[in-house]
Every structure is written in structure tokens, then in C-alpha cells.
């Protein structure tokens, strides 16, 4: 077990970890943590809107899915190697291990001790990017010390977290409505099939949030807990067709910003 057991009054958790870098700028860590400690160090940033501004990126808890994972974990000795992906704030500290490096050792990562502060919910030093349902299930499993693999990158920027969330979940069964609503908030280069959906989704957001729009407050989106009578998927399909080069009525204007296209729609 690579985790140090944390007393209830301790203000931080210490973990054996391996640190590396990608692109010469992003610090990444690999470590194991006890099942009950994941939600002690990490928050779940749920998607919602506050005054029209999109916050968070995680979908709501799927209780049936979480329950089935808990039942599996509690069924006996099980193998559960699926890694949780976390984003870490810059509050975390890493102390490299001392000592000589064995000859011939692949110098891909450096071992050491990772220190993560323990904070109240909503103020934690980490956020779950991938593995929300698994993390919830692990926190409710009977074996609270079950070692869980974690890959973590340092990024207090929610924009980068959203980018990684979309890229990680692109190949998994994930609600299309959730991905589509997050796309306008992402600034990174995306695969072509996703980048083509960014402008239609941004137009859909504007149609739903501008008071001058006939669709104001009427569109069903992932961030809307209730309300909405117009399917955003149907509207997105229509917008995408109208923006298609050579065919759509808006194709010649597709390079314009969504704010400039909106008057043509309303």
C-alpha cells in the first residue's frame, strides 16, 4: 500500500508518487490513494450556469451506475485497475526522493512524496476530471483502503480541465448534450468532428440566453436541471446543416463569431 493513513485531524495527505512532465510544461503525477480519500482531496465540479456563465463540467450523479459499481466492489476480492484522472491546484507539493539513481534506469519519471492539502468541500486542492461515478462508488465501498490508481496533472485552470474532460470522454458513452454545451468554453485544438460542433453549440447557447431570442429559456441543455421544451440536439443539427460549406444558408458566414451570426437567426 503506497498511501499514508491520514488521521481525522490532519490537514494534508502524503502519497508516494512519480512525477514527470509533458510538453516541457505540464507536471503529471502517478500514485495510488485509498478509496475513501479520493473525495477528501478532490471536488466534483458539476456543470451549471450562474447568471448565464457556464461553470463546471461534470454531469450529475447516475445513481444506478454508482450502485452497480459499489455492488461490484463489495462482492469480494476484485480487480479494479481503472485510473481516476485528477486536476491539481498549485498548492500541492512534491519532494523528490534522495539517493543515487541505479544505472540503466529509464529516466521518464522521478519518485518522491506528493503532499495534497485537505480542504472543505468546494475548496479542495483537486478536481475530478474523469471517474466521477467510480469515485463516488469507491467512497461508499466497504473497503475504504482499497488502493485506487490516479493520474493527476497540475492545472487550476477550469478551461484546461474542460478540455481534458472532453478529450478523455470523447471515445466513451457520454451524453452528447453535455459535450456539446461544453465545446464553446474550450479553447484548445479539437478533433475535427468536435470542432465542427463548436459554433453550432455556441449559437445554441446564445439563442437560449439572449432575451431578444424567440428561444430564450426554451432550449433543453445539460446545465438546465428543469425546463426547456426545445431539444438542443434538433437545433444543433439544423444549425450544423446551415453552416455546411457549399450547401448551408450560413456557410459563407461560418468564419464569423457567433455574436455576429446571431442577428441573422433572430
- In this predicted model, what pLDDT tens digit does every residue of 76-103 receive, in sequence order? 888 888 899 898 888 899 999 887 777 7
Given 149, 172, 195, the domain boundary residue is: 172
What is the DSSP secondary-structure string of 124-174?
Answer: -SEEEEE-HHHHHHHHHSS-TT-EEEEEEEE---HHHHHHHHHHHHTTS--
Three-class DSSP category at 252? helix
Examine residue 75 and state whether it is found in any structural domain, yes or no.
yes
Same-domain status, 39 and 123: yes
Same-domain status, 145 and 86: yes
At residue 64, does pLDDT exceed 90?
A: no
Three-class DSSP category at 20? strand
Q: For 148-203, what is each residue's pLDDT tens digit?
A: 999 998 876 767 767 776 776 665 556 778 888 888 777 655 656 677 788 888 88
At residue 211, does pLDDT exceed 50?
A: yes
Same-domain status, 206 and 138: no
Q: Which helix (H) or strand (E) holds 194?
A: helix 192-209
Q: What is the DSSP letter of 115?
A: E
Choose among 125, 187, 112, 185: nearest CA to 155: 125
Q: What band does 5 get if pLDDT is binned at 50, 70 and 90? A: very low
Q: Domain residues for 66?
A: 12-172
pTM higher than 0.85: no
Same-domain status, 220 and 153: no
Given 121, 143, 172, the domain boundary residue is: 172
Number of domains in the chain: 2
Q: What is the DSSP letter of 14?
A: E
Amino acid at each position: 500500500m503506497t498511501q499514508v493513513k491520514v488521521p481525522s485531524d490532519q490537514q494534508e495527505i502524503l502519497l508516494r508518487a512519480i512525477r514527470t512532465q509533458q510538453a516541457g510544461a505540464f507536471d503529471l503525477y502517478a500514485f495510488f490513494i485509498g478509496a475513501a480519500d479520493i473525495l477528501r482531496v478532490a471536488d466534483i465540479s458539476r456543470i451549471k450556469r450562474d447568471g448565464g456563465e457556464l461553470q463546471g463540467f461534470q454531469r450529475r450523479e447516475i445513481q444506478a451506475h454508482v450502485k452497480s459499481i459499489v455492488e461490484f466492489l463489495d462482492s469480494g476480492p476484485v480487480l479494479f485497475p481503472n485510473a481516476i484522472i485528477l486536476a491539481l491546484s498549485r498548492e500541492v507539493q512534491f519532494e523528490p526522493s534522495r539517493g543515487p539513481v541505479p544505472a540503466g534506469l529509464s529516466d521518464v519519471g522521478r519518485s518522491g512524496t506528493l503532499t495534497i492539502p485537505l480542504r472543505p468541500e468546494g475548496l479542495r486542492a483537486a478536481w475530478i476530471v474523469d471517474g466521477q461515478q467510480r469515485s463516488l462508488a469507491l467512497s461508499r465501498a466497504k473497503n475504504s483502503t482499497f488502493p485506487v490508481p490516479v493520474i493527476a496533472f497540475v492545472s487550476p485552470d477550469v478551461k484546461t480541465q474542460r478540455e481534458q474532460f472532453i478529450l478523455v470522454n470523447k471515445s466513451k458513452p457520454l451524453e452528447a448534450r453535455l459535450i456539446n454545451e461544453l465545446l464553446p468554453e474550450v479553447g484548445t485544438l479539437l478533433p475535427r468532428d468536435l470542432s465542427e460542433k463548436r459554433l453550432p453549440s455556441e449559437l445554441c447557447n446564445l439563442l437560449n440566453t439572449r432575451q431578444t431570442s424567440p428561444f430564450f429559456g426554451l432550449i433543453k441543455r445539460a446545465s438546465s436541471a428543469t425546463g426547456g421544451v426545445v431539444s438542443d440536439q434538433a437545433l444543433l443539427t439544423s444549425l450544423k446543416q446551415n453552416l455546411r460549406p457549399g450547401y448551408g444558408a450560413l456557410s459563407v458566414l461560418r468564419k464569423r463569431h457567433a455574436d455576429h451570426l446571431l442577428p441573422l437567426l433572430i
